[in-house]
Amino acid sequence: MELRGPADRNWLLVLDGLPDPVSRSREFTRRALTAWKWLPAEGESVREAAEDVLLLVSEVVANACLHGGGPGALVLDRTEERLRIEVTDINPAPPEPRDPALRADPARPGGHGLLIVERLARAWGSRPGAAGKCVWLEVPWP
């Protein structure tokens, strides 16, 4: 089930129990970015920034699926300066990037999600929630 706040400010997607939450989150985010005019046919840098946002959403929702006991909700909150992405899950443990030195084979898939978040987001972190945590990240508004 989807719920939206003011279309000019924030959107909420309830993910708890939805099949394929990563794909649903990407499509929901794509619709929000389009509504906010972030996905116009203009500049290449705007399209690249939008693709980065979709990748970031995929990573944090996938992490909630794999390590958080399943995602609860996705919140997209925009201001004139930034876009904040929040994903809740039921695991209270904060996310921790894997130490690349501990990986047997760094070329293998998996374990790179938070490294991607660290590289693409302006800031990120987590905070405890009533039941679990919220992982958030911010990117500058183009």
**CATH number of residue 81's parent domain:** 3.30.565.10
142: which residues sit within 8 A by CB, 6+ positions away? 38, 45, 46, 49
Specify the number of domains making up the chain.
1
Q: Which amino acid is at 127?
A: R
Structural domain for 126, as ranges: 2-140
**Residue 46 confidence (pLDDT):** 73
Contact 88, 134 (CB under 8 A): yes
* pTM, two decimal places: 0.86
Q: Which residues pair with 46 in a beta bridge?
A: none
Give per-residue pLDDT as tens, 14-64.
Answer: 999 999 999 999 999 999 998 888 765 555 677 788 999 999 999 999 999
C-alpha span between 130 and 16 (Å, rounded): 15
Phi-psi domain of 132 (left: phi exceeds 0; alpha: psi -120 through 50; beta: other): left
Of residues 98 and 26, more confidently modeled: 26
State the Cα–Cα distance between residues 62 and 113, nearest whole angstrom.
9
Q: Which alpha helices (H) appear in the chain, and where do they start and end?
A: 21-35, 44-67, 113-120
